[in-house]
Amino acid sequence: MQLKSRVRRIHTSMQGMARALLLAVAVSAAVGCRSWPRSAVDSQVVWECAADPSGMAGTIRDWARRVIKGTDEASAMTRRTAHLTEVSADSVRIVDNQADCAKAGRAYLERDRPTPGTHPVALVSVGEHYIAIDLAQVSRSGEFRNSALLDRRFRTVLWMIGGI
């Protein structure tokens, strides 16, 4: 009888530990804990701006200008979903500040370990937000390329799949 009681207590204790572990995992995911040690990786990564207007940054800028000024339902829905405020087309601009591109690159790869080397980041300022993509390590959903919508503190607001 005593053995059954001990086994039952151990089993109950293990169930409690499993619940605590699941809770810890859920909380760490909710608060955005990183899966890689930033300082160790940053020493092996060079972040730079991919600010060529004829490249990806220009493509993102042109897309954002169309969405901001578009009167069709698709543009309006994109603005609502992405919380993009109406701004002048001239204020949608390619960012060429190295520090901002580095912050955006880190945010873009928040859950992935960056590969060592140079990471060109296409970064476009759109009102209260940035749109970013790391061209060296593109995040994908199937065949679609993902772009990150970031706030002014370089926190991910949402992921945009394809479209750009």
Query: Tens digits of per-residue pLDDT, 61-115?
Result: 999 999 999 999 999 998 898 888 888 988 999 999 999 999 999 999 988 888 8
CB 65 within 8 A of CB 124: no
pLDDT surpasses 90 at 41: no
pLDDT value of position 42: 65
Residue 48 CA to residue 69 CA, distance in Å, equals: 29
Domain residue limits, the chain: 1-33, 35-161
Q: What whole-number distance in Å separates Cα of residue 101 and Cα of residue 119?
A: 10
Neighbours of 84 (CB within 10 A): 21
Dihedral of CA atoms 139, 141, 144, 145 in degrees, nearest 10, equals -10
* Contact criterion met (CB below 8 Å) for 136 and 116: no
pLDDT digits (tens, 9 = 90+) for 2-32: 656 655 665 455 444 333 332 333 333 333 4
Name residues whose C-beta falls within 8 Å of residue 150's C-beta, 6 or more positions apart in sequence: 104, 107, 129, 130, 131, 132, 156, 157
Longest dimension (CA), the chain: 80
In the predicted structure, residue 60 carries a pLDDT above the cut 70: yes
User: Taking the model in full, what pTM does it have?
Assistant: 0.72
CA distance 138 to 112: 11
